[in-house]
A and B are shown apart, each in its own frame.
Chain A
Amino acid sequence: MTETPQTETELPRPERSECPATVDLAAAFEESGVREVLAELDATMIGLAPVKARIRETAALLLVDKARRQMGLATETPTLHMSFTGNPGTGKTTVALKMADLLHRLGYVRKGHLVTVTRDDLVGQYIGHTAPKTKEVLKKAMGGVLFIDEAYYLYRPENERDYGQEAIEILLQVMENNRDDLVVILAGYADRMDRFFESNPGFRSRIAHHIEFPDYSDDELLRIAEIMLGAQNYAFDEGARSTMAAYIAARRSQPHFANARSIRNALDRARLRQANRLFNEATGPLGAEELSTITEADLRASRVFHGGLGTDRRLQPAAE
């Protein structure tokens, strides 16, 4: 890469307007609208206490940094690239969306949009395809946040000619040179991300904030289930509620447990069974109450209560 001669004649720029002597952090906090984002985060996301604490800290840091810049104490843009690690269904994407909003309100990204990509969007299929593809995505994300889901797929050590490496190099370069323009959030399962960072030390050092997403507890998942149902105007009856608690405990010990995502899928299937039940059993007109109640029977029919996912398929292939 060669340095091009500077063709611009530098204009004498007006000096920065004189720095304020004091700074009111509370006022800045109110003004920037960070409070609303944090409050929304608290209200809409169940559990995730360590994540919320980290975001609060990050927000405080950025607010102070902004104040310092206004007073002329700091000039460098802080590194804002992050990595979200955690098991499936722990809310990484949702938090990334909130993070984009937060950074936008603090003025660290200009637009605050979130561009979600996976390996397919970055890595090309033939030689020379990857670089333009990656750059296209990066350009689209400029002024906002680039969220790379399952980022460890970018690196495939078993294939040394894999184009993922090329995408990684471009990413690193832009992450370093265009720090003002975009924030990159890498997300993925904890163990695989650790391996990914080990083999790409450049990434680890360029990412300042590593945020770990813990699994939800059973209570939290039950509350999430109720909120999910509430959002669709459904509700549990008393029996269903305790059944759901039992379901969560049973589901957790079975393979492919994906926290809130498993719950959402379970509820989707319960709605299916409820519809089926209403259709088969209803004799007269139905009220809103019946149409929006999930009963114990709707949940009990789940494979989770009959020996788990794998066994069920073998025993009764045409079930449900």
Chain B
Amino acid sequence: MRLRQGQFSFLPDLTDDDIRAQAQYAIDKGWAVSVEYTDDPHPRNTYWEMWGHPMFDNPDAAAVVFEVNECRKAHGGKYIRVIAFDSTAGWESIRMSFIAGRPADEPGFRVVRQEGEGRIVRYTIESYAMREPEGRRYA
């Protein structure tokens, strides 16, 4: 099951040129672009691991593509995303976020049902990958 998170996630995977174009857009807007990775695909997992510092002063997106590729080398089997942070007053938050790398095999999510008081049933989802400990989730 393909993970659908952030922008462009219903499109085919972005090529390096696509990533470059998107990152350049963010840089031209003055946003700080950074690369992050995780092996916990849960949609509520907002805090991914940072790959290096956010790139505040790189005028060209080649640096972003370079870092994405470096991250792929080190964490090829994990999810990698590119985010752009807008520091302008009033925004001060992530303006762009898209997946730039994903594991070859994505097992997807299962529904977990929990019996509550009376006849209440609470539903949640859990990634099949999460059954394995960290670092062993994707091959």
Partner of A139 from the list B58, B72, B76, B102 (CB cut-off 8 Å) is: B58
Contact A140 B63 (CB under 8 A): yes
* Chain A window 111-143, contacts with chain B (Cβ cutoff 8 Å), 1 for yes, 0 for no: 101000000000000000000100000111011
Known: A1-B73, A8-B13, A9-B12. A142 touches B60 (CB 8 A): yes
Residues of chain B lying within 8 A (CB to CB) of residue A138: 63, 66
Q: How far is the CB of A204 from chain B (nearest CB, A)?
A: 25
A-B contact count (CB 8 A): 59
A-side interface mostly: loop
Contact A4 B76 (CB under 8 A): yes
A91 contacts chain B at the CB level, 8 A cutoff: no
Contact A4 B62 (CB under 8 A): no
A182 contacts chain B at the CB level, 8 A cutoff: yes
In the docked arrangement, what's the CA distance between A94 and B63, Å? 26
Contact B60 A144 (CB under 8 A): yes
Residues of chain A lying within 8 A (CB to CB) of residue B52: 132
**Closest B-chain residue to A139, C-beta based?**
B63
Residues of B in contact (CB 8 Å), total 22
Contact B59 A139 (CB under 8 A): no
B101 contacts chain A at the CB level, 8 A cutoff: yes
In the docked arrangement, what's the CA distance between A180 and B60, Å? 12
**Closest B-chain residue to A132, C-beta based?**
B52
A11 contacts chain B at the CB level, 8 A cutoff: yes
Known: A5-B104, A7-B104. A111 touches B15 (CB 8 A): no
A2 contacts chain B at the CB level, 8 A cutoff: yes
Those of B119-135 within 8 Å (CB) of chain A = none
Q: How far is the CB of B107 from chain A (nearest CB, A)?
A: 16
Q: How far is the CB of B39 from chain A (nearest CB, A)?
A: 15
**Closest A-chain residue to B61, C-beta based?**
A143
Contact A11 B67 (CB under 8 A): no
Q: What residues of chain A have their CB less than 8 Å away from a CB belonging to chain B?
A: 1-2, 4-5, 7-11, 110-111, 113, 132, 138-140, 142-144, 178, 180-182
20 contacts between A and B (CB under 8 A): A4-B73, A5-B104, A7-B13, A7-B76, A8-B13, A9-B13, A110-B62, A139-B66, A139-B67, A140-B57, A142-B58, A143-B61, A143-B62, A143-B63, A144-B59, A144-B60, A180-B62, A181-B62, A181-B66, A182-B62
Q: What residues of chain B have their CB less than 8 Å away from a CB belonging to chain A?
A: 12-15, 52, 55, 57-63, 66-67, 72-73, 76, 101-104
Question: Closest 9 CB pairs between A and B?
Answer: A143-B60, A139-B63, A4-B76, A181-B62, A142-B62, A8-B13, A142-B63, A142-B60, A4-B72
